[in-house]
Amino acid sequence: MSGLVTILRRDLALASRRGSEASLALMFFVLGTVLFPLGIGPDPNMLARAGAGLLWVMALLASLLSIEKLFQADWEDGSLDLLVLSGLPLAGIVLAKTAAHWLVTSLPMAVASPLLALLLNVDAKGVAALSLALLLGTPTLSLIGAVGAALTVGARRGGVLLTLLVLPLYIPVLIFGAGAAESAVAAQGARAHLLVLAAFLLAALPLCPWAAGAALRQSVE
C-alpha cells in the first residue's frame, strides 16, 4: 500500500514540476467550451439545452487527450521496466498512476464546470447534478483510458489506435453523465443517472487496473 502511495506522490510531483501538461487538459476544456457560443450562436435557450452535453463531450475529449501519455514517459526512460520489477502488483501500479492522472486533469475540470455551466446558461437546477456527474464519471473515463494507454504504449501512432479503442467504451458514461443534468433540469431528479455512473465506476475500479496491468506486462516484453 505504501508503495502505491509513493507512486501516486511521485506522479503528482512530476505533474506539478512540469506544470504545462497538467494545465493543458484544463485549458483545452475551458477554451473549447468558450468557443461553442461563438460557433453555434449566442441564443441563450439553445446554449442552455446543449450546455451539459457540450461540457461532457469536452471533458471526455480532454481526458482522452491526456491519458495517452499515462505510461509513455515511464516507458521511454526505462522506469516502466523498474516499476514492473518493483514487486508491487501491476494492477496497483496502474491504479496509482490513474489516480494521479485523474487528480491532475479531471478533478480541476469538475471543479471548473459550474462556472462554465453558468456561462452556457445551463439551468441552475442542473449545475449541481452536472458537477456531481463529472466527479463520478471522469474516474471511469480515466480507468478505461488507462487500459487503452497500456495496450498502445510503445506503439507507433498509438494515439489514433487509443482513440479507436477507447472512445466507444466512453459512450455509456457520456450518455448517463449528460443525462444527469438534463433530468435534473426537467425536475425528474438526477439520482438514477448518478447511481448508474457510480455503478460504472465500481465495475471499472477492479476490472480496468487488472486488464491494464496485464497489458503492461506485454508491452515491456
Chain contacts with another protein (rule: CB under 8 A): 2-3, 6-7, 10, 13-14, 17-18, 73, 76-79, 81-82, 84-89, 220-221
Q: Of the two residues 63 and 98, which places its CB atom closer to another protein in the complex?
A: 98
**Beta carbons of 130 and 181 less than 8 angstroms apart:** yes
Q: How many CB atoms are closer than 10 A to CB 154?
A: 14
Q: Which is nearer to another protein, 73 or 198 (CB)?
A: 73
Closest approach, Cβ 158 to another protein, in A, equals: 16
84 vs 161 by CB, closer to another protein: 84
Q: How far is the CB of 17 from another protein (least distance, A)?
A: 4
Distance CA 153, CA 220 (A): 9
Axis crossing angle, helix 158-185 with helix 124-152, rounded to the nearest 10: 160
The least distance separating another protein from the CB of residue 165, rounded to whole angstroms, comes to: 23
Least distance (Å) from another protein to the CB of residue 221? 5
Q: Which is nearer to another protein, 39 or 87 (CB)?
A: 87
Cell 431528479, residue?
189
Q: Residue 208 in 3-state DSSP?
A: helix
- Cβ proximity to another protein: between 61 and 73 the closer is 73
Closest contact distance (angstroms) between CB of 156 and another protein is 14
CB-based burial of residue 65 (10 Å sphere; 0-12 exposed, 13-18 middle, 19+ buried)?
A: middle
Q: How far apart are CA 33 and CA 188, in angstroms?
A: 26
